[in-house]
Chains A and B, each alone.
Chain A
Amino acid sequence: MNAVTRLLRSTGGLGLVVLVLVASLPLWFIQTNFVLSVATLTLIFMAASLGWNVISGFGGQISFGHSIFFGLGAYTTAILQVHYHLNAYLGVLLGVVVAVVLAVLLGAVTLRLRGIYFSLATFALTLVFAILTGHYEGFTGGEVGLTLPLLGDAPGEFSFENKVTFYWIAMILAALAFVATWLVLRSRLGLQLRAIQADQEAAQASGVLAFRVKLTGLVISAVPAALAGSVYMQYVGFIDPDSAFGATVATQIAVIAFVGGAGKLWGPVVGAVILVPLQQLLNSSLSAYPAGFNLVVYALVVLVILWIEPRGIMSMRFRRRRARPPTGAAPPGEPDPEPAAAVPSSREAG
């Protein structure tokens, strides 16, 4: 497993620590349903945000509409199960297919826009999806939402009595999303996406087929988001327009990555580990206060982190580390350039 050792090395051992911590979490907290639920949701949103990182973090096309793919994943599996009694796993798969098709269609239009206009278009589109799902009641359950039938313990139908199972599934999903983004970052696609982010005209002058590269990036980035939506649906058992396509989900997927470090391999991981538990904790502990107070505190935490380091936690400099390698000192025996963003992140991981 050369790739695994490379990955661990390129991320300065941080990977191993996180892996062990996350993997052993249920062993410590297995009795506490709250912690288990928070951990599962953390991993689900981590996966969605990792997907976001491909087009927005690497490619610089900031999407505030990744909830579209999250919601499509959730609704596709739910509708197919509730209305057509389709096997849940097949539903998950079809959720990905639907999300990919829509990524192509929506990307073909929105990716011609630059900068903030792309962001606004994606945000508007997710709100359109929220309205549409609210409107077509017969199909989507309208504003009331859709509830999955209670099947009890039916592993063949993606239904488990033991909620730890969902934790493991969510972890596998997040791990797959992480490895996928790592592979993208190392690939030609990743390099070309980063070049487009840095300077699209210069990238095109270097022969980069910018539109095609961005569209490919968007499609890839939709897949983890859609899977996250499907797993969320199976886990929570309920979806409505707002929790699928609403502004909160739309921004959360992006904010997780921004706080952790957009464009950094570990950004969404760190961001999700901090923000999702924080959000869940605030929701439950501050519910006695006037409505919205939890959101104010949440926003303050996000603002403070981004005030300290606008590029996110993975870009924060911690004192012990040396700032830069001396000029021209390539690591011995490593002529092969390390994956791009992983280099600064390993240096700055602290």
Chain B
Amino acid sequence: MAGPLLRVEGLTVRFGGLVAVNDVHFTVDDGELLGIIGPNGAGKTTMFNAVAGAVRPTSGTIRIGDELVSGKPPERVARLGIARTFQSVRLFKAMTVAENVTLSASTVCPSMAAARARADEVAELLGMTALQQIRVEELPLADQKKVEIARALALRPKLLLLDEMMSGLNQSETRDIIGVIKQLNGDGLTTIVIEHVLRVIMELSHRVLVLDHGVQIAEGPPRDVMRDPRVVEAYLGRSAAQNLGEPA
């Protein structure tokens, strides 16, 4: 497979009169970690939902490899290798960790035995073997977020979409999750991360895409993007952007 793993072209999502995502183009290479940032309401999650099939794009195309993803329902997209987590944790609360992960494994594994084995494998990878028989609702938030990752990984995805994994976590929990994401990406898993905490994005991403009001305003290596006046303006306002420009 030549070319990028994910190719998004002219993606637009309209809700009635509101244009949540406006003509966004980007690609993600195999093994890359792309960060997506933007102020509240910038359209990050909507764009995520479009890639994951949860929202139907108004126009534009999304392809993974040679396969057209846009227009397909979320369960098909998941089976094509795009796995996601939810910003507000959406696990099957009354089920155990093992059941949560086995469930998603069961949609791609030939048998339940294989699905259980896959769940064990993922739990071991994330160091959660001891938690397997605990009901998810009894776990602290940080562990629930890990279960979200585990549930996504059980699908053997080509592309992992992580939506605001750090929200609600303290410093050390954030470090823990960052470690997990780095480890997975280091093992070759292509990942897109949406994050509010800029520091996290700076540390993780190979490349950053900035959205503001649904429009893509900058793209590039994290350091360059952070100096881009348009980005500073979107985050901090116009005067800050001017101050930043002058002393140079």
Contact of A205 among B84, B93, B115 (CB under 8 A): B84
Whether the Cβ atoms of A336 and B116 lie closer than 8 Å is yes
A275 within 8 A of B: no
A230 to B155, CA, bound (A): 43
Chain B residues near A187: list those with CB within 8 A. Answer: 112
A328 to B155, CA, bound (A): 25
Identify the closest chain A residue to B92 (Cβ): A198
Contacts known (A330-B132, A337-B116); A210 close to B91, Cβ less than 8 A: no
Identify the closest chain B residue to A197 (Cβ): B92
Contacts known (A330-B132, A337-B99); A206 close to B155, Cβ less than 8 A: yes
- A203-251 CB contacts (< 8 Å) to partner B: 203-210
Whether the Cβ atoms of A206 and B94 lie closer than 8 Å is no
Contacts known (A337-B102, A340-B99); A194 close to B92, Cβ less than 8 A: yes
Whether the Cβ atoms of B131 and A328 lie closer than 8 Å is yes
Identify the closest chain B residue to A329 (Cβ): B133
A329 to B91, CA, bound (A): 21
Contact of A207 among B99, B107, B134 (CB under 8 A): B107
B234 to chain A, nearest CB (A): 29
A192 within 8 A of B: yes
B34 within 8 A of A: no
A204 to B54, CA, bound (A): 9
- B65-118 CB contacts (< 8 Å) to partner A: 73-75, 78-79, 83-84, 86, 90-96, 98-99, 102-104, 106-108, 112, 115-116
Whether the Cβ atoms of B78 and A204 lie closer than 8 Å is yes
Chain B residues near A329: list those with CB within 8 A. Answer: 133
Contact of B74 among A188, A201, A327 (CB under 8 A): A201
B162 to chain A, nearest CB (A): 13
Chain A residues near B75: list those with CB within 8 A. Answer: 204-205, 207-210
A195 to B154, CA, bound (A): 15
Chain B residues near A210: list those with CB within 8 A. Answer: 75
B28 within 8 A of A: no
> What are 8 residue pairs bridging A and B, where the CB atoms are less than 8 Å apart in the complex?
A188-B115, A203-B103, A205-B54, A206-B104, A206-B151, A330-B132, A330-B133, A335-B120
Q: Could you tell me how many residues of chain A have their Cβ less than 8 Å away from some Cβ of chain B?
A: 29
Chain A residues near B99: list those with CB within 8 A. Answer: 191, 337, 340
Whether the Cβ atoms of A328 and B96 lie closer than 8 Å is no
Q: What does the 1/0 interface line of A178-205 toward B look like (CB < 8 Å)?
A: 0000000001100110110011011111
B49 to chain A, nearest CB (A): 10
Whether the Cβ atoms of A207 and B133 lie closer than 8 Å is no
Whether the Cβ atoms of B92 and A195 lie closer than 8 Å is yes
Whether the Cβ atoms of A207 and B78 lie closer than 8 Å is yes
Show the binding face of A for B, using Cβ within 8 Å.
Answer: 187-188, 191-192, 194-195, 198-199, 201-210, 324, 327-331, 335-337, 340, 344
B141 to chain A, nearest CB (A): 16
Show the binding face of B for A, using Cβ within 8 Å.
Answer: 52, 54, 73-75, 78-79, 83-84, 86, 90-96, 98-99, 102-104, 106-108, 112, 115-116, 120, 130-134, 138, 151-152, 154-155
Chain A residues near B116: list those with CB within 8 A. Answer: 336-337
Whether the Cβ atoms of A206 and B132 lie closer than 8 Å is no
Contacts known (A199-B90, A202-B86, A209-B75); A188 close to B131, Cβ less than 8 A: no
A30 to chain B, nearest CB (A): 43
Chain B residues near A336: list those with CB within 8 A. Answer: 116
Chain B residues near A195: list those with CB within 8 A. Answer: 92, 95, 103
A279 to B59, CA, bound (A): 59
A248 to chain B, nearest CB (A): 32
Contact of B103 among A192, A327, A330, A335 (CB under 8 A): A192
A208 to B155, CA, bound (A): 11
Q: Give me 6 other A-B pairs in contact (C-beta within 8 A), A207-B75, A209-B75, A327-B138 excluded.
A: A195-B95, A203-B103, A205-B54, A206-B152, A207-B107, A335-B120
A344 to B92, CA, bound (A): 15
A206 to B79, CA, bound (A): 8
A335 to B155, CA, bound (A): 21
Contacts known (A191-B102, A337-B98, A337-B116); A205 close to B74, Cβ less than 8 A: yes
Identify the closest chain A residue to B115 (Cβ): A188
Chain A residues near B83: list those with CB within 8 A. Answer: 205
A192 to B109, CA, bound (A): 13
Chain B residues near A204: list those with CB within 8 A. Answer: 73-75, 78
A330 to B133, CA, bound (A): 6
Chain A residues near B108: list those with CB within 8 A. Answer: 207
A202 to B84, CA, bound (A): 9
A329 to B138, CA, bound (A): 14
Chain B residues near A324: list those with CB within 8 A. Answer: 138
Whether the Cβ atoms of A206 and B107 lie closer than 8 Å is yes
